[in-house]
Chains A and B, each alone.
Chain A
Amino acid sequence: MKMPITLNVNNTTWNLDIDANATLLEVLRSDVLNQQSVHRSCEEGECGACTVLMDGQPVNSCLVMAASAQGTTIITSEGLMRGDELHPLMKAFVAELGLQCGFCTPGMVMSAYALINQWGDEELSDMDIRKAIEGNLCRCTGYVNIITSIRRAKEAKDAGNWW
């Protein structure tokens, strides 16, 4: 069964005719939206590879029925870019080698973005960072360089280098 929904993805509004049983992950990865940074892995909300922001909050897109996303605003990691320019958070990941195979990275970036965006001027501890990305599994990095990357990104935001 098909049903219509309206979805804003990375600042573009889409009127879509989706399968009623489609997940947000499926719709984002579909030929129409083609958000290939949203990765499919466990499909049960455990790994975080499909994390996107839904109305500003990180969600596992595999656990969200697309129908229930009606009217929401979605941001994927592609949506953090300004044209070809990497977001300061992404630049921090590249500089600190916060990624190895890169598969968990877009989801990790979205959780980190939500954390830093919602955090005030106060200091961000390593445990604050660890808890914020607890739902994003990484098998390559041991998380060490990811945490360094996020700390560096927080410094960038504190210095006014953020969007």
Chain B
Amino acid sequence: MENRETRLISGKGQYADDLDFPGMAHLVFVGSPHAHAVIKRLDVDKALKVPGVLTVITGEEMVKYTNPLPVQANFKSKGWTWRLANVYAMPKDKVRWYGEPVAAVVAEDEKTARRAADLVEVEYELLAVTGNALQALEPDSPKLYDDWEDNKQVHLKFDFGDPDGAFAEADQVMHINSREGRVTGLPIEGRGCVAHYNLKRDSLEMWGSFQTPYLARHNIAATLGMPEVKVKINAVDIGGAFGLKIHSWKENVVALASKLTGRHVKWFEPQKDFIVTGPHQRDVFWEGDVAFKNDGTLLGVKATVTHDLGVESTNKGIAALSIFPACSSVPNMYHWKGMHIEGVGAVTNKSFYCAYRGYGKDKGLKFIEHALNQVARKLGMTPEAIRLKNYIQPDEFPYHQINNLVYDSGDYPGTLKKALAMADVDGFRAKKESYLKEGKYLGIGVISAIEPAGVAVPNCQMGGITQARVQITPDGTIEVHSDRTEIGQGSEASHAIIVSNILGCNREDVLVKPVTSDYIGQGPLSSRGAVYPASAVAKAAKIIKKKVCQCAAAFLKVDEESLVLEGGMIYSSDNPDEKLTYRQLAEKAYFFPGPRGLPPEMLKKHDHLLDVTTTWYSPTTADSGSSYTSFCVAADVAVVEVDIDTGVTKIIKYVHVHDAGTIIDKQIVDGQIHGGIVQGIGEALYERLDYNDKGQLMTSSFSTYLIPTAVEAPDIEVGHMETPSPFTETGSKGMGESPIIGSKAVILAAIEDALTPFNIEVNESPATPELVRSWIVAARKRQEKAK
């Protein structure tokens, strides 16, 4: 079968914008120009009069025809602060962020819809804007949701191990704070879909850039008040996702538009709208103390991380859920005595928070890696020395960390040592002084992190359950289904490799089907692809292999144990000349099972059906409640040169060594690493969603929201280690988020090292040239004063 890459490169991709159906209408949203305002009057008459306009949907229709958006994560029961807003997919009375859709125009073609959208008249009464988390938490701050006591949506408190004991034992306590700017994942393709409501059957089918069709079905059906069995969601080719296409929300309006018009309705989002009204992430600040001994032994942390969540209007708890991993990832891969971590989330008049590669894990890990570097500097240790002193050792696995995560496997010291050697850290350190004499500021950053992957948490839609199906069809080809959508991360190729390795068949004979809501699971998020769906697929393939062997043994009249499956053939090692192809086997099993000699008990148990649907759930999550299953390990070293006159950072060398367990396909893993690292570099140096004091987003295009181009991206050297995970079916670990976690931390660490002569703590990102310059100017003033 033609491989996916060949299909895509020859122009046969079918992305959301390529969807076309006879009689298809087009939907365009009208966004609010204000961040916080009461809708006084909304007049759609002029828009409706434009020839070709079919209907205009407003908040009024949403209230009339749909339910409020369904709850996706609810932790109210735990005794923490956890608030949810009762809102519809479009508001009727009030807008809460810049760009929030207030109307959707449906017309015969997109241009007509756009023209009519400009004629929708809205009169707003402006309200005071809550522009950031600190302001939102002030007692007199304007409230976003009238029925809430204040703007604090979430406050979680965790005690891991013995935090007070840790601080009592400490020789020193250091105060650490850091902050990171608001960013977005920004795939090159925006969101898009086509909805078709079948008025005769009262059923709905949608096609589009759905990262998690099974969850989308649940949420869209709940919004429209339909039974889930009447809704089908199909993922088409997706132009990048990174978590940003998990969440369906505008899609709900498209579904209603089809129901009201009886037409296929298409919506394809302009890139600008994706930035303005799409998921945002990060935008946190940390404040805390780290306790340690004079010999560099780490003891404890007490810290609070405060999140600017934007509005809580579209995803009902799933955004706030990312505060959990932000808190629980702080221990990273080290021995600790105890921690007290609090996570606070405040709502503001900004676009909503949702998943983006890292989903909070990155925040805790970045904070602790920064803190370790400060401790090392204070103690006169190298960054590697403090890490090597505190690592969990290879003989300690499975390791029950203080945060209740059960770490699976790895060689933490070995991974770091390999990275140091590959990057020639000693060589670069030796050069630093001579560089400085020439006025060049060379910096070497070193960090390491595990990536908790494969999430399963209670009380929310990320419950973990996953289904897969492997069927050998009568012509001997093999069909694979799962919840793992192909978003460019290689899920189709990975599953084909897993199945063909187990069945000894050719990769070309395995067809991994596009994902629909027919198969249960939460899709590729939290790097769970190589954990949950890959395990479910492998498990199904192993079960089917047993059936293949049973059938083949009967057909070939040989001992089942003697069977060999390779090169698409099945034969007995006792009689290698008599072979069955998968086609011959399947044809016999399906069409001629009785007379050709299958044992009666096999027939009665239906074991000759070469079709297996199964599920997979993590053994450690089941046993201990560990909310992640596998822990990829990575060490990053970056060497940078900072131009102190311009503040520009140039990356000279970048090394990433990782251990994601058994590698399914090295090319795919390398691709994930390269892409994640460059996204992290974007976060560290360039990317920032800037709102003005009116709450309007000022960086809403590729020309102002700066993602790295080929010129900024560095060469990347990757080193592999392979310590299999004992907890997954293939030994593989999730690894898609690990590279972004490491790179954004290590670039900042390298800048800090380069600026050692100025004694600057690099605790804010993005470290834009302006920011770096301001640090240097301030440091010089401090130095002059000291003189």
Contacts and interface: CB of A to CB of B under 8 A. Distances in A.
> Lowest 10 A-B CB distances belong to which pairs?
A103-B239, A101-B488, A37-B11, A142-B674, A102-B8, A100-B488, A142-B678, A46-B702, A144-B674, A130-B710
Contacts of A49: 188-189
Contacts, number: 170
B151 to A, nearest CB: 32
Given A101-B487, A141-B675, A144-B674, A39 B15 contact: yes
B667 interface: yes
A114 interface: no
Interface stretch (B266-274, B394-402, B416-424, B453-461): B266-274
Contact of B710 (A36, A46, A147): A147
Given A139-B675, A142-B713, A36 B11 contact: yes
A90 B7 CA distance: 11
B375 to A, nearest CB: 31
A81 B671 CA distance: 25
Contact of B5 (A31, A76, A77, A99): A99
A130 to B, nearest CB: 4
Given A77-B9, A106-B9, A109-B9, A139 B187 contact: yes
Nearest to B189: A103
A13 B710 CA distance: 35
A46 B488 CA distance: 22
Given A99-B9, A134-B710, A139 B188 contact: yes
A54 interface: no
A104 B703 CA distance: 17
Interface size class of B (residues with CB under 8 A): 35 or more
Contacts of A145: 667, 670-671, 674
Interface in A101-159: 101-106, 109, 126-127, 129-131, 133-147
Interface residues of A, number: 55
B17 A101 contact: no
B18 to A, nearest CB: 5
A41 B188 contact: yes
Contact of A97 (B5, B678, B715): B5
Nearest to B676: A142
Contacts of A36: 11, 13-14, 18
Contacts of B707: 137, 139
Q: Max chain B CB contacts within 10 Å: which of A29, A84, A133, A143?
A: A143
Interface string B2-40: 011110111101110110100000000000000000000
Contacts of B667: 96-97, 145
A103 B10 contact: no
Interface string A21-64: 00000000101000111011111101101000000000000000
A20 interface: no
A99 B702 contact: no
B114 to A, nearest CB: 11
A103 B15 contact: yes
B189 A39 contact: yes
A146 B671 CA distance: 10
Q: Max chain A CB contacts within 10 Å: which of B6, B702, B710?
A: B710
Contacts of B673: 142
B360 to A, nearest CB: 20
A94 B671 contact: no
B524 to A, nearest CB: 12
B675 A40 contact: no
A143 B671 CA distance: 9
Interface string B691-705: 000000000011100
B9 A142 contact: no
Interface of B: 3-6, 8-11, 13-15, 17-18, 20, 111, 185-190, 237-242, 268, 270-272, 487-490, 667-668, 670-671, 673-679, 701-703, 707, 709-711, 713, 715-716
B10 to A, nearest CB: 6
Nearest to B666: A97
A103 B710 contact: no
A93 B674 contact: no
B242 A86 contact: no
Contacts of A35: 11
A104 B188 CA distance: 7
Nearest to B238: A101
Given A49-B189, A78-B11, 7 more contacts: A29-B17, A36-B18, A97-B668, A103-B188, A130-B710, A138-B188, A141-B675
Contacts of A134: 709-711
Contact of B187 (A81, A103, A131, A143): A103
Contacts of A146: 710
A143 B18 CA distance: 25
A100 B713 CA distance: 17
Contact of A139 (B20, B186, B711): B186
A130 B651 CA distance: 15
Contacts of B270: 43
B675 A100 contact: yes
28 contacts: A19-B111, A39-B188, A40-B268, A42-B272, A43-B270, A46-B703, A86-B10, A96-B667, A97-B5, A97-B668, A100-B671, A101-B188, A101-B238, A102-B9, A103-B187, A103-B240, A104-B188, A105-B9, A127-B711, A129-B710, A130-B709, A139-B240, A139-B242, A140-B240, A142-B673, A144-B715, A145-B671, A146-B710
Contacts of A130: 709-711, 713
Contacts of A126: 715
Contacts of B677: 142
Contacts of A78: 10-11
B703 A131 contact: no
A131 B711 contact: yes
B268 A77 contact: no
B6 A86 contact: yes
Nearest to A79: B11
Contacts of A94: 3, 5-6, 9
